[in-house]
Structure 1
Amino acid sequence: MRKLIAFDEDTFDKLKQLGRDRMATFQELAEEAFADLLKKHGIPIDLRDALRKSARADGVTDKSPMRSRTRKARAR
């Protein structure tokens, strides 16, 4: 879906420069920004996030190996 968003010139110039510096398109910058905004407000971005949030609400903990190793490494 396409939507039109207006920026003042200064903001748009800074976004263009950021895109050049990171070698990213404006679309990639926008997707990252909106994903961060949704995460900030606790809104799942995709099905995986929705399922993870739902499992936490039901009292199920994340038992993935990555999380276990991280906790063990911090305990040392």
Structure 2
Amino acid sequence: MRKLIAFDEDTFDKLKQLGRDRMATFQELADEAFADLLKKHGIPIDLRDALRRSARLDGVTGKTTPRSKTRKAKAR
């Protein structure tokens, strides 16, 4: 999906130079920037990240349900 984003001249020039210095495309810089923004706000970036966060939260909150060891006595 394509979206149009506007930058002022100075910011765009600095981004172009950063891309040259790092040998990265503008798209790679944008992907990194948006991934960092999502991470900052605690939003999973992809499915793997979402599953990792979910497993970490389950371990911290103790959402696992222990199995009951008591059994009902059989009626004769």
TM interval, shorter chain, is: 0.7 to 0.9
User: Which amino acid is the alignment partner of residue 35 of structure 1?
Assistant: A
Deviation at 1:16, TM superposition (A): 0.2
| Separation of aligned partners in 1, 2:20 and 2:59 | 44
Deviation at 1:28, TM superposition (A): 0.2
TM-score (ref. length: structure 1): 0.76
Is 2:19 the counterpart of 1:14? no
Aligned residues: 60
Q: Whose radius of gyration is greater, 1 or 2?
A: 2
* Structure with more helix by fraction: 1
Q: Give 4+ residue runs of structure 1 displaced > 4 Å after superposition.
A: none
- Report the equivalent of 1:26: 26
TM-score (ref. length: structure 2): 0.76
Deviation at 1:50, TM superposition (A): 0.2
**What's the % identity of the aligned pairs?**
95
| Separation of aligned partners in 2, 1:2 and 1:54 | 30
| Separation of aligned partners in 2, 1:9 and 1:3 | 19
